[in-house]
């Protein structure tokens, strides 16, 4: 058994002529919480899809538990995904299923457990996120923070070795955000899992993760512990961490000289 449950080796990927990733290397050790950060459109969520086998790399490879993901057949992909839990952006609960049935869904899909045991496990997962009392509610009756916590209960339903989070703090109020931060850290440690968190939120993320990868222009622009990145002198990292308006990531999208544009408009 290797120390890293997920490894991304010299990975390149793109859509048509648009190259999102160019030789990306990342390692995700067992039992750790690792963040992938970067600007919008930098391919963070795409990396989660590559780990889950939804996409195939153009070059390089993704290994999960020692196995190259894109070389697996249908049964092999299914077996690897059995080890993964996913918290989608905004929760992505099944709107026509109750809270109870949302959490029970992966157990019914991936196991042959009797309903009596599924009931006990569902209540256990809901209790872990503080929402056992909401088991009979429908998603439309939940607040944004509650929806995210129910989605987290569903993500850990099968005690996965890898839990992936796609923008888990988006749209949450400060209290709900604090709750989710604590749940991610505590559940990771209790389950002995590896958590991969895709996010923009510097303050919240730096408060609980073990390691951070910054992606920009298709490569890993910087990596390190939160303390190392706070102290970084790299212009991109400084701009991202401190929220500077201008820097390596410019405020203005690439465009012709402003005066030339105005002159063309005047002639027209």
Q: Which domains does the chain have, with CATH numbers?
A: 4-232 (3.40.50.300)
**Mean pLDDT value across residues 217-244:** 78
Q: Quick one: pLDDT at residue 267?
A: 62
Q: Quick one: pLDDT at residue 251?
A: 44
Note the pTM of the prediction, 2 decimals: 0.83
Q: What 3-state class would DSSP assign to 3?
A: coil
Query: What residues contact residue 210 under an 8 Å CB cut-off, 6+ apart?
Result: 32, 33, 34, 225
pLDDT in tens, 32-78: 999 998 877 778 889 999 999 899 999 999 999 989 999 999 989 98
Q: Which helix (H) or strand (E) holds 198?
A: strand 194-198
Across-strand partners of 27?
7
How many other CB atoms sit within 10 Å of the CB of residue 262?
A: 10
Q: Could you identify the residue written with the tokens 């997962």?
A: 125
């Amino acid at each position: 058994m290797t120390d890293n449950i997920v490894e991304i080796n010299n990975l390149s990927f793109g859509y048509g002529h648009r190259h999102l990733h160019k030789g990306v290397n990342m390692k995700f050790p067992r039992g750790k919480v690792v963040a992938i950060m970067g600007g919008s459109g930098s391919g963070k969520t795409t990396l989660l899809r590559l780990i889950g086998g939804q996409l195939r790399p153009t070059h390089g490879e993704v290994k999960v538990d020692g196995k190259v993901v894109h070389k697996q057949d249908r049964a092999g992909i299914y077996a690897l995904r059995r080890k993964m839990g996913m918290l989608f952006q905004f929760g992505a609960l099944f709107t026509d299923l109750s809270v109870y049935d949302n959490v029970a869904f992966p157990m019914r899909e991936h196991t042959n457990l009797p309903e009596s045991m599924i009931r006990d496990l569902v209540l256990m997962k809901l209790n872990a996120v503080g929402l056992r009392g909401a088991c009979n509610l429908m998603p439309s009756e939940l607040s944004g923070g509650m929806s995210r916590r129910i989605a987290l209960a569903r993500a850990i339903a099968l005690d996965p070795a890898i839990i992936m989070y796609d923008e888990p703090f988006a749209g949450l109020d400060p209290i709900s955000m604090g709750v989710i931060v604590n749940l991610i850290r505590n559940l990771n440690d209790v389950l002995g899992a590896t958590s991969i968190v895709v996010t923009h939120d510097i303050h919240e993320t730096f408060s609980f993760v073990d390691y951070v990868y910054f992606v920009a222009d298709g490569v890993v622009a910087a990596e390190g512990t939160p303390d190392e990145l706070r102290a970084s002198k790299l212009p991109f990292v400084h701009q991202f961490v401190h929220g500077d308006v201008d820097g390596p990531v410019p405020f203005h999208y690439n465009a012709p000289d402003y005066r030339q544009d105005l002159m063309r408009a005047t002639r027209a």
